[in-house]
Structure 1
Amino acid sequence: MFEGLVAAAEGARGAGAIGAWARVENAACARRLAAAADVLERLIAEAGAVDREQWCIDNWTIAAAEVAAAQGVSLGVASHQLLLADDLRRRLPQVAGVFATGALTYRTVAAVAHRSRLVRDAGALRKLDTELATQLCGWATLSTEKLHTAIDTCVDRYDPAAVRRTEYAARGRHIDIHNPADGSGAATIDGTLVATYADALDARLDAMAAAVCAHDPRTAEQRRSDALGAIGHGAERLACACGRADCDAAAPTPSTVVVHVIAREDSLGDDTPAMLDGHVSYSQEPEPAGPAAIDPGYLMGKGLLPAPLLAGKLAATATHQPLIHPGQAGPEPRYRPSAKLAWFVRCRDMTCRFPGCDVAATDCDLDHTIAYPAGPTQAANLKCLCRQHHLLKTFAGWRDKQYPDGRVEWTSREGQTYTTHPGSRMLFPQLCRPTAPAIIDHTADTDSEGDASQARTLKMPRRKQTRTQARQQAINDERRHNQTIVDQLLAERNKPPPF
């Protein structure tokens, strides 16, 4: 079937080719999700899988790690895909069959899975699956809102308490901060707040923006933006940027928050002309700036900071800490690395070194690739791993090999291999110069393999309830809320007329 879709697409032209290749893409996506479901099923069928359900790094996380590494995506993205793959395999097999023909998009099947997830009765779910598999191809041109309405109508027909209701929108409140990889040094924020909190924040930003003197060069919107940054640093007011010695609002509030920036020394004194405050108006199209004269800095775990922004906004008030490459220095005598070595490893790696993970190095553990004491405490045997991936390596069968230039070769439970490089390789390649190779100490006093494995298992953080139990409880809670609404609507409808 898939080969037929490819052949039809290769023979199509123009708009017809677009639609034909879209069907190929949909069919390939269906097979990718089916492969992800296979990974989960094989894992659950293993001996010991039941015991792992109570682990913090449970069967689901282990499977999601395989899915994430295979695609170069984060664990969260992979977990979302795995949830959809599992729904299509266990709950919506007929919809999955239509998806495999290329007739449905990922957006459509994801909406179906999400909006039918509260259906609990097996008979109702089978009927819903049958109806949606029949109807979905005719809904291809619906907008997102209309598609959700159509799916909800079907769900309501078989299980009114399973309709996802707008009252639960507040449960989805969030704040996301995005650092685009455009080298601008600016980030965007979007999110959802409870309305009263949003009003309070809006008023607070206005008040802080208005507290500077009349000579501050920033616009009102720029001051509001900087005020939010000041709040992030624990400040109660926004420091005025007028630069006048007699300004009462100029002194900044001492920060209680630390952010880490890696930069070349010459970046801190960059004098490239740059207008960072005030209104900008061009009488004509500006000329391209051309290559930067000085390399940018890097905000740990976030992205680039152009040298003019770094010099103009941060350098004067920042604490400067020199970074020293360890060269061919030998291992340190203790398990815990010195502050100097730890800082070098974090700056070299920049993020977690597991495939697809971008947790900042400052939020990671320092892992001995070859376990201490057999493995030495030195740069060639240390790397950054976030807590989840550190536990995953320790308990879930992943193997790793590290090289003096910081490269790490990973081998997954299923035998797939992946290579990750230090995050500094592009921006600060000098940090990736080879260090002294790690030499295994075969005389080190270590536990037997069996004893060590048992000790690790005892140290694995455990869940109060399994992931399945937590999901079922959330479904039951939402259904109970929905049933109350349904009962109220029925009671209102069945009231006797007022005459």
Structure 2
Amino acid sequence: MRSNPRLTLLRDEDRSELTGILGEVEAAQMALAQAEAAYSRALSAAGVFAARLAEGSSAVVRDRDMALRGVAAEIAAAVRLSDRSVQRQIDSAFALVTEYPATLHCLEKGLITRAHVAVVEDVGRRLPVEVRGEFDQLAAEICLDETPGRARADLEVIAERMHPRSLTERHTEAFGQRRIVRYSIGEGMSELRAVHSTVLIEGIFQRLTDEATEVITAREPQPGDDSADTRSIDEVRADVFADMLLTATPTLDSTGHGDRPGGLGAIRAKVQVVIPVMALMGHSDVPCDLAGVGPIDAGTARLLAGNSDGVWERLLVHPITGLIMAVDQYRPTGAMVRFLKGRDKHCRWPGCRMPARKCELDHNHDAALGGRTEICNLCCLCQRHHSMKQFTAWKVTQLHGGIIEWTSPTGRVYTDNPPGHGVHFHPEEDLPDDVWVKWTTPGTEFRILDEPADDPHAPAPF
């Protein structure tokens, strides 16, 4: 397939027009952010005003609520909103102004968006009030350089490190709240909601997606067949979900042949878990990482690793290893694929969170133009951004350390750094001073040694 020259080679007048549009979008975005900040400050002031009205009352809690209701009703009538909604907005705005001043300042300057603020508030509310000030400072810095989705992943890790209670302790407590809830949504339809372990929910959703994809792929409409299956992937996923729960094994299996079981029953959920070796051995309870989702407790990660009989895909990474590998062929080796998917975790387009397991490996410098099949010339791109790189004027270059540099049609440069693994190694806690670690590339085998290995390139002791 040949590229459209109008997309890959912009004329000067086209580039100038696009630059003008981009300027208008940026100006509007900044104005919107500043207006959001001003709105939050005004609502926070309304909350302070309501609290002042209740000062000196013998029933402070009741009277403050009544004062807040009155103020919320006044504002709601003026802006044509529900007074309950406005009261919730006042509470939220007050928390933003008092607990997240750095984040609000960045919004006020138009440096971040309201979506960034929502992420900071959502993650921050899980922390005790006394540490939110420090969290706010770190969160504001991260949001300056990342999209809301990418920022959430980093903030989840920071929140876990700052929380005074361990993730293992909190997960054990939360696990006792797992449940299934149903809601009627009208028109003869209802919603079934499951609250369960993140790892299990992620695995369930991935398996349903794989099975739905298999059903759609296997559809072969015949000419003149008015009963052809035209369901979307969401519809098929919902049908397979209901069928599996009601019958235990799928019967909506268009991959079956005669009396033999089809391919759907063989599909299993796959998740990628990054776990420090000492956590795997049970010597540490540092949070581990469910790739593309966020931190999970060490106990769950060890359980997955111990039961990885083909159902779970296990990825072990060492805090030091990361050697570059290259081959004299177009296709990368299996070890290279595992390394790249572990390094990138998701599509490397700035802001894209498509998990690496669903991405394609791209030669940043095209193989057809002499690009080599090596780690420093490969990265994970989802189908959308892989195609965009191939058929539009966007250009991509990989710098040292897996840093991806994108150049837009207007000449702007955007940098995407390889994501952290979400797990943090604390040598003074994980290993005594006299313990040495030996590993084999690319971080798939580990041995604990009592003395240095007889190897000039052996790692130094922790």
TM-score class normalised by the smaller sequence: 0.3 to 0.5
With the length of structure 2 as denominator, give the TM-score of the two structures: 0.39
Structure of greater Rg: 1
- What's the TM-score, normalizing by structure 1? 0.37
